[in-house]
Amino acid sequence: MNKILNEINSDRECAIFDCDVERDIAVDDKYKRKNNPNIPDLAEGTVIRHYTALSRKNYALSTTFYPLGSCTMKYNPVINEKIASCAKFAEVHPLQPESTVQGSLEIMFELEKALCEISGMNNFTLQPAAGAHGEHTGLLIIADYFKSRKEKRTKIIVPDSAHGTNPASANLSGFEVISLKSEHDGTLSPDKLKEILTSEVACIMMTNPNTLGVFEKHIPEIAEIMHANGSLLYYDGANLNAVMGIARPGDMGFDVMHINLHKTFSTPHGGGGPGSGPVGVKSFLKDFLPVPTVVNENGIFKLNYKNKKTSVGRMKAFYGNFPVLLKALVYIKSIGGNGLKEASVQANINANYVLNLLKDKVAIPAGNVCTHEFVLSSKGSLGDGVRTLDVAKRLLDYGYYAPTIYFPLIVEEAMMIEPTETESKQTLDEFIKVLSGIIDESKNNPELVKNAPSKTPVSRLNEVEAARNPKLRW
Ligand SMILES: *Cc1c(COP(=O)(O)O)cnc(C)c1O
């Protein structure tokens, strides 16, 4: 053994000698450093301990439950990350000849087919990089459709229960937004819709289930009203884990939709991306989809630029965020149609379970039945001067990430909770106990809750100041 080690060591010395810069390359003195570089002089062990300690201060799905509503922070199979980082996929270049990337093209082709089946739409583009980017793409398609028909439709109806990106995307895409107020039960009224509908309305953008976690019960009637007016229906399907395997937007009468692969289909939301927001359309809109799409010609997969003239153009360099597409297909194929349905059913059961065990403690403005998430209002349920923000901060002391707060805007002192399909009853019971306990604390010891968190590395920050003038050195 010693002999082998000695040989290796002597080899190593030779190697170091071989690439001796001083000896092989003559560097002019004027380029040489006069003083040692001003970098921290620390041992590797000290550095690694510092960064590991910092990483442990993070909240992450791999360390804690993450009830952030509207974001689907579910646990995703790590094996899918591993598959997506396989050299055969990760090291493929987007400009390689088609004949050398048949497998990657087939994955995109198969994913498009799977998304059509799941959603009831006829064609998809996989290019958009996120949900909001998908909305923008979908609205450009709608704009070009009306342009091709020489119809002047400049307005989009967006309910006040829609996701915040909807009015923003409508605006960005050049439309004027008309707001539609939701009813007390959180749903839309077809009669109120009729009152604001004009011949200038291009479409209605519906988030379903809406941001209150309520499934819109009048969709068939709304679809009839919109189509009779020559207008279209856009479905914000960011949260498909509420309906997949159970109901399909295409069957409900929607013409355009997006799906957030980075919520439902095995890519974590948050963490800075990348994401993917494929957009699906009914057949009559397919010529407007971004190019290229992938087609199968007698078993050979090809990039198709046929619709270059009618297309809204390219929405992203190359073909979308390929690793996210790959993970989505692996997820869909590995759990199958029944598995997708089971995921949705479980997401809905988990949310309803938490809602029903909290409903005697706080107000639930949209009623006692929800889909994959729900919104509570802590107005009137907390101790003196304690607000939703304080409850969210106090949750950090108990080791939980805080839920979404003050959204949607239509609920006062809102807190939006989404347990997701991947959490166990035990985890949910623990969370319910802690949240109920904080509501009691807010009455028995309001100052404690108002000054939370006390167990985190920093307590209350001036959030505006921290965002505008971050203090990065202590
Ligand atoms: C998350 C979400 C979006 C936006 O998706 P991004 O990928 O964050 O742009 C849009 N609509 C709904 C309903 C969402 O939940």
Q: Kindly state if the Cβ of 130 falls inside 6 Å of ligand 1.
A: yes
Q: Determine the pLDDT at residue 15.
A: 43
pLDDT in tens, the chain (474 residues): 455 445 544 444 444 444 445 555 678 889 989 998 888 889 999 999 999 998 888 888 888 999 999 999 999 999 999 999 999 999 999 999 999 999 999 999 999 999 999 999 999 999 999 999 999 999 999 999 999 999 999 999 999 999 999 999 999 999 999 999 999 999 999 999 999 999 999 999 999 999 999 999 999 999 999 999 999 999 999 999 999 999 999 999 999 999 999 999 999 887 667 999 999 999 999 999 999 999 999 999 999 999 999 999 999 999 999 999 999 999 999 999 999 999 999 999 999 999 999 999 999 999 899 999 999 999 999 999 999 999 999 999 999 999 999 999 999 999 999 999 999 999 999 999 999 999 999 999 999 999 999 999 889 988 899 889 988 876
| CA 201 to ligand 1 center in whole angstroms | 23
Cβ of 70 below 6 Å from ligand 1: yes
Distance 332 CA to ligand 1 centre (A): 20
Residue 163 CB–ligand 1 contact under 6 Å: yes
Q: Determine if ligand 1 sits within 6 Å of the CB of residue 238.
A: yes
Which atom of ligand 1 lies closest to the CA of 260?
A: 7
378: tokens are 């802590």
Burial environment of residue 239 by CB neighbours within 10 A (0 to 12, 13 to 18, 19 or more): buried
- Kindly report, residue by residue over 236-268, the tens digit of the pLDDT: 999 999 999 999 999 999 999 999 999 999 998
Whether residue 290 is preceded by a cis peptide bond, meaning omega within 30 degrees of 0, is: no
Please report the atom of ligand 1 found closest to the CA of residue 134.
9
What's the sign of the alpha-carbon dihedral 260, 266, 272, 275?
negative
Ligand 1 centroid–CA 18 distance in Å is 56
Is the C-beta atom of 237 inside 6 A of ligand 1?
Answer: no
- Tell me the CA distances in angstroms from 91 to 107, 190, 316, one per residue in order: 15, 51, 19
CA 72 – ligand 1 centroid, Å: 10
Assess whether the C-beta atom of 373 lies below 6 angstroms from ligand 1. Answer: no
User: Which of 161, 236, 265 to mutate for ligand 1's pocket (most ligand atoms within 8 Å of CB)?
Assistant: 236
* Distance in Å, CA 132 to ligand 1 centroid: 6
Q: Is residue 461 classed exposed, middle or buried when 0-12, 13-18 and 19+ CB atoms within 10 A define those classes?
A: exposed
**How many other CB atoms are found less than 10 A from the CB of residue 316?**
16
Alpha-carbon distance 76 to 421, whole Å? 11
Among protein residues, the one whose CA lies closest to atom 15 of ligand 1: 70
Task: List domains and CATH numbers for the chain.
Answer: 78-335 (3.40.640.10), 337-468 (3.90.1150.10)
The Å distance, Cα 165 to ligand 1 centre, comes to: 7
Q: For ligand 1, is residue 239 a contact (CB within 6 Å)?
A: yes
Q: What is the DSSP string of 30-83?
A: GGS-SS--------HHHHHHHHHHHHHTS--TTTS---BTTS------HHHHHH
Whether the CB of 259 sits within 6 Å of ligand 1: no
pLDDT in tens, 293-331: 999 999 999 999 999 999 999 999 999 999 999 999 999
> 165 CB under 6 A from ligand 1?
yes
Render 156-216 in DSSP notation, one character per residue: EEEETTS-THHHHHHHHTTPEEEEE---TTS---HHHHHHH--TTEEEEEEESS-TTS---
